[in-house]
Amino acid sequence: MLGFMDVESWQHIQEIREALVEALPFLLKGSIMTIKITTIAVIMGIILGVVLGLARVSKNKIANWISKGYIEVFRGTPLLVQLFILYYGLPSLGINLPPYIAAVLGLGLNSGAYVGEIVRGGIEAINVGQMEAARSVGMSYGQSMRYIILPQAFKQIIPALGNEFIALLKDSSLVSVIAVKDLTRQGRLIISRTYQSFLIFLTVAVFYFVMVFVMTRLVNYAERKLKVSD
């Protein structure tokens, strides 16, 4: 009986090893896709967020109202629903987006709303005297924002931005439901072939943990460098 159990255990170990060997190349490929999507979405989120943040503190009522409405809508609705609208909803209007484009747009537009509020908070945290001093020496409002206010604001909001982008990396797993072959979808495809759900999902979790760990270290490094520059 013991010998039978030993053979059975060995066979089970072999099955696990074979499943991992088969899975790793696909999971690595999925990880690269996840990193690509997240990176582009982060860049898009920063650009959009800065524009929204500036509009939120602007004295232009129209710009302020539009940016506030945008932020409220995207923060007040689930990211998954936003992805469904882009990928499944737009075709009814004659607009067909490839899965990859829909994923990047969905993540970027959603992230921009959160970054916009972070940027607004950072700008408002700067002493109003900074703007007054810049204007008193002849700088325009735009120059004051670009050279005086925004650089100081970004130093303060690095931790909040880092948390947002880490959350974005984890939220990127949602794009698997619109047929993007990211890390999560690759894991699900492998499970459909191997039936090793626990092992594969555990490995997927490890991949995400490693990516989040690296991103966290990069954010901490950037924060330390900015403190030294002060």
Q: What is the dihedral of CA 85, 77, 113, 95, to 10 degrees?
A: 10
Give the global pTM. Answer: 0.89
Task: Give the CA distances from residue 5 to residues 2, 88, 183, 196, 221, in Å, rounded to whole numbers and listed in that order.
Answer: 5, 50, 35, 20, 51
What residue ranges define each of the domains in the chain, with the CATH number in brackets? 37-229 (1.10.3720.10)
Tens digits of residue pLDDT in 24-59: 999 999 999 999 999 999 999 999 999 999 999 998
> What's the whole-number mean pLDDT along residues 93-116?
97
Tens digits of residue pLDDT in 191-227: 998 888 999 999 999 999 999 999 999 999 988 887 7
Backbone angles phi, psi at 127, to 5 degrees: -55, 130
Alpha carbon distance 181, 153 (integer Å):
37
Q: Both tokens of residue 37?
A: 């999507």
DSSP assignment of 22-56: HHHHHHHHHHHHHHHHHHHHHHHHHHHHHHHHHHH
The label of the residue with tokens 């966290």 reads 216
Residue 12: band (very low, low, confident or very high) from pLDDT cuts 50, 70, 90: low
DSSP state of 59: S
The pLDDT of residue 2 is: 46
